[in-house]
């Protein structure tokens, strides 16, 4: 037996008991006659005492042990004279009687504490050591608990968890698939699912009624800072439901998860149309932890002789309360340059400071009188000490630029409070998005999303311009400016689905080859259905007020899709390639 108790559970009640503990040497302090060792496991830390007078041999051995050695000890629980109130086991210590070294340890390449001195690369290579840090373990334990709470809630609501296959079929629409060459069917490939979308719809056709799955999904994309090639979704689908019922169901799930894991009671989630979100925040995932809504200025800023505004499609601004003093000319110049970086791409930045005496200081002061700027201030609800930032240009681009500025200002002004959660449903998304470059429509959500009932006839019969105005029964769940998930009511009619594939530029043959099984299924009594998928990694991060999902994944990959610990991907043997009937292309071999 390796232990009678773990390193986190001994209390005053245990005093006088002989116990066996196993764990890792966290720290060791040697005071000549006495040696103290902090022994650590997942559950906590317990102080061990070795006494040179009573147990010279054991104490002598104990002095030589290094950090991260694995020890098994037996000893007597006794009260500490020098109690540590910051530690649950801080009232007791163990007077060690026997000591066994279960395993030695080389000196770790970084410190295994709450804060570590290890860089990202090193920590990923020695992930097993990084995972020993309580702060990282806490994340994994949180993730496990969040999954339990999710499953408990959804199964309580009658959802059935069904495992959908991982080896499926490549459908090049959307993101890039990871593919898997088939040995038994040479020249053919499986693909890893980007989501179980078609399978969950098939389960609805099969009458399963309420499905969910916490499931790995895969996308072979160039990795941005916070993307992973494999990620986890809470994937759900329901039959015979309206959008309203779906929103209510998953709002209730989200509230329940906040309550169960954080003991936070969320109020009812507001809903905002996609159009309003873009109009007021320039984003389909607005962060509602602070206001600073956009004010459209075309009506009162154009036609005053300032050419930049006059020629712009949109003039729009935000008001940063009480920030006038914080921005010197130099600060404004730096902020303007920040906005002009290629990542944002603003042409310039106009400001208006509201002075205490009712006058204004502005970069466009020579085009606008104080009386005119007073109207601006009124439209913004600005008061003395506030500063307005104004952008102009092409509508969509300008809104996106101002969104970046709004978020930046919210951060700088400390408007984002820890522990503040502002969920939001964004609804009424467009069905299709016109892509100027490829001159074709893209699905705003995905090709299975249903237009609103009122738009179906227009969709079946309308012209090109009509298609741009179609609205979908599609919705996103946004929390604190992060898209936590999205979903839609799905098409369940073969003709409508076929029309949608047409609009998206599929030939009949392509649609049939890739999604024929789904369209066939629609001919055998497919029920109305809809669902949602929530990003599980993202949800973990948002619940913990963190921005990176990587800290909630046990073995994340780096930005080139590499697992630094196991060193994957890696070359494989030629006979493996031969068995699969594939080879490397010349350029790769060189």
Nearer to its own copies, 21 or 484 (CB): 21
Helix axes 329-340, 395-412, angle to 10 degrees: 130
- 3-class secondary-structure state, position 488: strand
**Least separation, in Å, of the C-beta of 399 and its own copies?**
33
Structure tokens at 52: 């040179």
On whether the CB atoms of residues 38 and 45 are closer than 8 A, the answer is yes
H helical segments located in 116-207: 120-125, 127-130, 134-156, 197-205
Rounded to a whole number of angstroms, the minimum distance from the CB of residue 570 to its own copies is 5
On the CB side of 444, how many CA atoms lie within 13 Å of its CA?
26
Strands 271-273 and 423-427: parallel
Closest CB 476 distance from its own copies, rounded Å: 24
Shortest distance, position 152 Cβ to its own copies, whole Å = 8
Contacts of 388 (CB under 8 A, 6+ apart): 317, 318, 319, 320, 351, 352, 354, 376, 377, 380, 382
228 vs 403, beta carbon nearer its own copies: 228
Shortest Å, Cβ 232 to its own copies: 6
Q: Please, what is the minimum distance in Å from the beta carbon of residue 116 to its own copies?
A: 14
How are beta strands 230-239 and 529-535 bridged, if at all?
antiparallel
To its own copies, the closest distance from the beta carbon of 172 in angstroms equals: 6
Nearer to its own copies, 230 or 483 (CB): 230
Q: Which is nearer to its own copies, 218 or 269 (CB)?
A: 218
Report the distance separating Cα 196 and Cα 179, nearest Å: 15
Closest approach of its own copies to the CB of residue 59, in Å: 21
Residue number with CB closer to its own copies (67 or 289) = 67
Q: Is 21 helix (H, G, I), strand (E, B) or coil?
A: strand
When the beta carbons of 52 and 205 are compared against its own copies, the nearer one is 205
Nearest distance from residue 377's CB to its own copies, in Å?
49
Indicate the residue among 185 and 329 with the shorter CB distance to its own copies.
185
Burial of 127 (0-12, 13-18, 19+ CB in 10 A): middle
- Residue 50 corresponds to which tokens in the numbers above? 């070795």
Q: Between residues 356 and 513, which has the closer beta carbon with respect to its own copies?
A: 513
CB distance 126 to 108 below 8 Å: yes
Residue with Cβ nearer its own copies (282 or 556): 556
Choose between 223 and 344: whose C-beta lies nearer to its own copies.
Answer: 223
Helix (H) or strand (E) holding 215: strand 210-218
Using the Cα atoms of residue 236, residue 239, residue 243 and residue 248 in order, give the sign of their dihedral: negative
Two tokens, residue 492: 């369940």
Residue 232 three-state SS = strand
Instruction: Give me the least distance between CB of 23 and its own copies, in Å please.
Output: 8
**Three-state helix/strand/coil letters over 426-447:** EECCECEEEECCCCEEEECCCC
Residue (of 274, 270, 293) closest to 285 by Cα position: 274
Nearest distance from C-beta of residue 510 to its own copies, angstroms: 10
345: Cα separation from own chain's centroid: 25
* In the complex, minimum distance from the CB of residue 468 to its own copies, in angstroms, rounded to a whole number: 29
Between 409 and 541, whose beta carbon lies closer to its own copies? Answer: 541
Q: Which is nearer to its own copies, 126 or 309 (CB)?
A: 126
Alpha-carbon distances, residue 127 vs 97, 227, 541, 565 (angstroms): 34, 19, 19, 7
Phi and psi of 184, rounded to 5°? -80, -20
Which residues, in sequence order, are bridge partners of residue 386? Answer: none
At 193, list the tokens: 């699912």
Give me the least distance between CB of 243 and its own copies, in Å please. 12
Q: Which residues contact 392 (CB under 8 A, 6 or more apart)?
A: 308, 309, 312, 314, 315, 316, 347, 350, 398
Nearer to its own copies, 44 or 286 (CB): 44
β pairing state of 360-362 and 189-191 = unpaired
């Amino acid at each position: 037996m390796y232990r009678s108790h773990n390193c986190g559970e001994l209390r005053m009640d245990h005093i006088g008991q002989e116990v066996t503990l196993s764990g890792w040497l966290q720290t060791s302090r040697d005071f000549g006659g006495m040696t103290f060792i902090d022994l650590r496991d997942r559950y906590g830390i317990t102080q061990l005492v070795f006494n040179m007078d009573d147990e010279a041999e054991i104490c002598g051995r104990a002095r030589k042990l290094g950090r991260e050695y694995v020890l098994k000890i037996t000893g007597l629980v006794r009260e500490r004279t020098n109690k540590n109130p910051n530690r649950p086991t801080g009232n007791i210590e163990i007077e060690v009687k026997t000591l066994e070294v279960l395993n030695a340890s080389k000196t770790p390449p970084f410190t295994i504490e709450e804060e570590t001195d290890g860089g990202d690369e090193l920590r990923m290579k020695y992930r097993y050591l990084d995972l020993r840090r309580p702060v990282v373990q806490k994340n994994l334990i949180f993730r496990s608990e969040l999954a339990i709470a999710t499953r408990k809630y959804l199964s309580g609501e009658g959802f059935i968890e069904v495992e959908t296959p991982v080896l499926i079929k490549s459908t090049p629409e959307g993101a890039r698939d990871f593919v898997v060459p088939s040995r038994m069917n040479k020249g053919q490939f499986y693909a890893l699912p980007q989501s179980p979308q078609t399978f969950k719809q098939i389960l609805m056709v099969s009458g399963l009624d309420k499905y969910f799955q916490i499931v790995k999904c895969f996308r072979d994309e160039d990795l941005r800072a916070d993307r992973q090639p494999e990620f986890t979704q809470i994937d759900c689908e329901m039959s015979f439901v309206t959008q309203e019922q779906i929103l209510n169901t998953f709002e209730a799930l989200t509230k329940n998860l906040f309550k169960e894991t954080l003991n936070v009671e969320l109020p009812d989630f507001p809903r905002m149309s996609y159009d309003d979100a873009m109009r007021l925040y320039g984003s389909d995932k607005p962060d509602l932890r602070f206001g600073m809504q956009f004010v459209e200025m075309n009506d009162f800023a154009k036609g005053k002789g300032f050419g930049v505004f006059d020629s712009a499609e949109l003039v729009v601004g935000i008001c940063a309360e009480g920030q006038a003093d914080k921005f010197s000319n130099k600060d404004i110049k730096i902020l303007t340059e920040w906005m002009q970086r290629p990542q944002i791409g603003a042409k310039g930045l106009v400001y208006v400071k509201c002075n205490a005496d009712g006058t204004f200081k502005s970069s466009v002061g020579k085009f606008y009188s104080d009386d005119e700027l007073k109207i601006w201030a009124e439209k913004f609800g600005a008061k003395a000490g506030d500063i307005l930032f104004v952008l102009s240009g092409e509508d969509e681009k300008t809104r996106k630029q101002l969104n970046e500025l709004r978020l930046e200002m919210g951060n700088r002004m400390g408007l984002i409070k820890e522990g503040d959660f502002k969920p939001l449903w964004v609804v009424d998304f467009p069905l299709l998005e016109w892509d100027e470059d490829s001159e074709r429509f893209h699905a705003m959500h995905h090709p299975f999303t249903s237009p609103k009932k009122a738009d179906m006839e227009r969709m079946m019969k309308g012209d090109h311009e009509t298609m741009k105005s179609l609205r979908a029964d599609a919705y996103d769940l946004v929390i604190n400016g992060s898209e936590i998930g999205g979903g839609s009511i799905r098409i369940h009619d073969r003709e409508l689905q076929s029309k949608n594939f047409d609009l998206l530029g599929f030939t009949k043959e392509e649609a049939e080859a890739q999604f024929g099984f789904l369209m066939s299924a629609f001919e055998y009594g497919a029920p109305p259905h809809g669902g949602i998928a929530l990003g599980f990694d993202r949800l973990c991060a948002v619940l913990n007020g963190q921005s990176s999902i990587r800290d909630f994944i046990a073995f994340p990959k780096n930005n080139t899709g590499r697992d630094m610990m196991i060193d994957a991907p890696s070359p494989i043997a030629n006979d493996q390639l031969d068995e699969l009937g594939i080879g490397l292309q010349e350029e790769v071999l060189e």
